[in-house]
Amino acid sequence: MSEMKKIKNLKEFSTSADRFEGANLLCPGCAHSIIVREVLNATNHDLVLAASTGCLEVCTAVYPYTSWDASWIHIGFENGSTAVAGAEAMYKALKRKGRLKQPERTPKFVAFGGDGATYDIGFQWISGCFERGHDMMYVCLDNEVYANTGGQRSSSTPIGSSTTTAPAGRVSYGEKRKKKDMVGIMAAHGSPYVAQVAPNKWKDMVKKIQTGLETEGPVYINAMSACTTEWKFDPADTIAISDLATDSLVFPLYEIIDGRQLNITYRPKNVIPVRDYLGAQGRFKHLFKPENEYLLDAWQKQVDGDWEYLQRREEASV
């Protein structure tokens, strides 16, 4: 395997020079920067990157400065996927025509978007990229809310969360719809590789990123990105909140290969109650009032059912 194509081991990864600089305007405690740094440092390949409008974009490219030590483009809220897919198509065309000065160099094409730009506004663009089979990776930084534009609910927002457009109060307990299963939707596109990751389990995350980058075709990564501002927790607790999410099974870690083979990649030794995860965040504090506590039971029942479903899927695909 050539040096350019060699996948970094974890020691090499931990000592890599950053391609995502620390100087940015993201909130203290924002998980976006942790995830993006891991994605960029997980490979030695040249990278062509795109970002949809969102927290990541507005906080890392304040003209005339940039946090990106790699080729990077931003166009709009909805089309980070098509921006990088266009670059990938252009690269293939130039290579086919023999117009590349260094044709042996094989860049990787990666797009980033928040859940608003992924689950909602940009969904049809992402779907089109996957249907066309572009050789690219799409990473959703899933903080379950439109954090950049005022904390509005998205179709990633879970039941009971209080947002500016689905506020909790005397007549409402907040968001009333179930979170969209974006991982399942992208697997149903026939993607060769989709995975769910979280920054607290960084080894699992890096291995999945490396697998995705070495997979030919459209790859989808859904990354839990805890938001200190809208989830309402102390900035020092980002990883602790992420631990609660994965250990309560609210955010299970798994991968789906070729739309069929499901592998659970993290099984907590001690599964904690869902209420422990919800209770650590201000966006759910109203659920602990006597009139809303039935929702805590509903949450637990839903998470238990989803976990059983994943285990059945895994067993059936062996």
The candidate with the shortest Cα–Cα distance to 81, out of 122, 115, 53, 40, is 122
* Mean pLDDT calculated for residue range 103-128: 94
Helix (H) or strand (E) holding 51: strand 47-51
Segment among 5-9, 68-72, 176-180, 199-203 with least mean pLDDT: 5-9
Is residue 3 a part of any domain in this protein? no
Pairing of strands 137-142, 108-114: parallel
The candidate with the shortest Cα–Cα distance to 303, out of 257, 258, 245, is 245
**Which band of pLDDT confidence, cut at 50, 70 and 90, is reported for residue 4?**
very low
Give Cβ neighbours of residue 315 (< 8 Å, ≥ 6 apart). none
Q: Within 42-97, where are the H helices?
A: 55-60, 80-96
pLDDT at position 148 over 70: yes
* Mean pLDDT calculated for residue range 151-171: 97
The predicted model scores a pTM of: 0.94
Q: Percent of the chain beyond pLDDT 90? A: 89
What confidence tens digit (pLDDT) does each residue in 45-64 have? 999 999 999 999 999 999 89
* Mean pLDDT calculated for residue range 87-110: 91
pLDDT at 15: 67
pLDDT at 317: 83
Pairing of strands 254-257, 193-197: antiparallel
CA distance 16 to 29: 22
pLDDT at 291: 95
pLDDT at position 202 over 80: yes
Between residues 23 and 227, the one the model is more confident about: 227
Is residue 92 a part of any domain in this protein? yes
Q: How far is CA 228 from CA 97, 191, 211, in A?
A: 49, 32, 29
Is residue 18 a part of any domain in this protein? yes
Count of structural domains, the chain: 1
Is residue 235 a part of any domain in this protein? yes
* Mean pLDDT calculated for residue range 290-296: 96
* Mean pLDDT calculated for residue range 158-163: 97
pLDDT at 3: 41
Between residues 160 and 22, the one the model is more confident about: 160
Is residue 96 a part of any domain in this protein? yes
Is residue 5 a part of any domain in this protein? no
Is residue 4 a part of any domain in this protein? no
Q: At what angle do helices 238-247 and 31-41 cross, to 10 degrees?
A: 80
pLDDT at position 10 over 70: no
pLDDT at position 208 over 70: yes
Is residue 135 a part of any domain in this protein? yes
Segment among 138-142, 191-195, 285-289, 314-318 with least mean pLDDT: 314-318
* Mean pLDDT calculated for residue range 129-145: 98
pLDDT at 311: 97
Q: What is the domain range of residue 194?
A: 10-316
Peptide bond into 192 cis (omega under 30): no
pLDDT at 23: 84
**Which band of pLDDT confidence, cut at 50, 70 and 90, is reported for residue 78?**
very high
pLDDT at 14: 66
Q: What is the CATH number of the domain that holds 38?
A: 3.40.50.970
Give Cβ neighbours of residue 216 (< 8 Å, ≥ 6 apart). 135, 192
